Amino acid sequence: MIGMTFDPAAIQDPDQQAWWQTWSQRAETATEKVVDSFEEWLDSESETPFDPKFDTSIWKDLKDWLLANVFYQKCAYCEREISGYYGDAEHYRPKGAVKRKKPGGGFERIDVQLLNPKGGRFVTKTHPGYFWLAYDWRNLVPSCVFCNSGQGKNERFDAQRYVVMAKCKKQETDALSPSLRPRQSKKWPGYYYLTPAGLDARESPLLLNPLNAIDERHPSKHLRFGVRGTVTAVDGSTLGSTSIETFQLKNDRLRVARQQAQETFRSKYYDAMRHFDPLDPQNSEAREILNEYSRGRWPFSAAALDYHKILLGAEATLDAIV
């Protein structure tokens, strides 16, 4: 898993800009609709679980676009190339059922505090899902069938706590940038549906999200790849170990694929170093290869970059001995 950065405001191509604007409007319209349906359901105090109707074409179209323009046709989680089928549009925070792993094994549905509109207080109910993020590009990544299967992530979302609606002060939310500003409830002033970043701060998720991860939640802070494609959690990181388990990153076929990617990287990098010009280091082929892997251009880029650090360490040790 490698951290990938994407900012829609940085799209340069006019046709791509037009596509993004059209898609964003579709997503906003669909989000308004599903939030309205939730508030009507909540206001009715129905005992029937919330069961929204989603427009799957919206997140499918985004998944296809992200695969082609951001993730280089790779799974966001395990970094294997998605080929032979179109992959899945994976919701980092599940749009419907939300489950976590039980201490003794198996999975359980999550209970969460929901507003009781008649009593003005919160009551405990089964988590309705992060429905307001169903079309939010910050909550959607392309995934291979293995990472998004019943044995992978699917409806799983481990966190220290869970939030659906949060009470916030309007002056504080208005002061936030538009990208961080939560969505205000239409029925209940003062209550908001938080953005992914706002939820991260309150929920402390135990799964890594490779898209626009920053600071202490960046995959490189929690996952370390070793020789022969091995992977481990950095300093016993819970985020790292939970992600390794959820996305089955220690699967041996995946390890072998990472090892092959490391060997490919080593061959390309040292071939390029033979042509290295110390008088023009900024334009070297070797530097460009490193830049490509740093951007996540190739399958298992994170494993290759960590392997590069190991190779540099081995060279430094050899030089010291000599």
| Bridge pairing between strands 140-143 and 121-126 | unpaired
Are 230 and 209 within one domain?
no
Is 3 among the domain residues?
no
Residue 240 above 50 pLDDT?
yes
> 178: part of which helix (H) or strand (E)?
none
Are 63 and 186 within one domain?
yes
- pLDDT at residue 322 in the model: 36
Question: Which residue's entry shows tokens 């009715």?
Answer: 44
Is 128 among the domain residues?
yes
Structural domain ending residue among the three candidates 213, 233, 258: 213
Query: What is the radius of gyration, based on Cα positions, of the chain?
Result: 22
Are 209 and 239 within one domain?
no
3-state DSSP call for residue 146? Answer: coil
Structural domain ending residue among the three candidates 178, 213, 248: 213
Are 166 and 284 within one domain?
no
Are 288 and 196 within one domain?
no
Is 100 among the domain residues?
yes
- Structural domains counted in the chain: 2
Question: Which residue's entry shows tokens 């995934």?
Answer: 143
Domain range for residue 67?
A: 8-213
In which band, very low, low, confident or very high, does the pLDDT at 30 lie, cut at 50, 70 and 90? very high
Is 206 among the domain residues?
yes
Are 228 and 201 within one domain?
no
pLDDT digits 0-9 by tens, 266-279:
999 988 888 766 66
Are 170 and 257 within one domain?
no
| % residues pLDDT > 70 (the chain) | 92
Find, among 291, 223, 234, 202, the residue nearest to 77 by Cα.
Answer: 223
Is 16 among the domain residues?
yes
In which band, very low, low, confident or very high, does the pLDDT at 319 lie, cut at 50, 70 and 90? very low
In which band, very low, low, confident or very high, does the pLDDT at 312 lie, cut at 50, 70 and 90? confident
Is the sign of the CA dihedral 115, 118, 120, 124 positive or negative? negative
pLDDT digits 0-9 by tens, 97-129:
899 888 888 888 999 988 777 766 778 889 999
Is 2 among the domain residues?
no
Are 136 and 158 within one domain?
yes
Of residues 30 and 277, more confidently modeled: 30
Structural domain ending residue among the three candidates 194, 213, 232: 213
Q: How far apart are CA 113 and CA 115, in angstroms?
A: 7
Are 258 and 182 within one domain?
no
Q: How far apart are CA 232 and CA 213, in angstroms?
A: 19
Is 293 among the domain residues?
yes
Is 95 among the domain residues?
yes
- pLDDT at residue 86 in the model: 64
Neighbours of 274 (CB within 10 A): 8
pTM exceeding the 0.85 threshold for the entire prediction: yes
- pLDDT at residue 130 in the model: 96
E-state strands within the chain: 88-91, 99-101, 107-109, 111-116, 121-126, 140-143, 166-167, 183-184, 191-193, 223-225, 231-233
The DSSP annotation for 149-196 comes to STTSSTTB--BS---SSEE--HHHHHTS-TTTPPEEPSSSTTEEEPPH
| % residues pLDDT > 90 (the chain) | 63
Are 120 and 269 within one domain?
no
Are 43 and 163 within one domain?
yes
Are 123 and 45 within one domain?
yes
Q: How far apart are CA 9 and CA 198, in angstroms?
A: 20
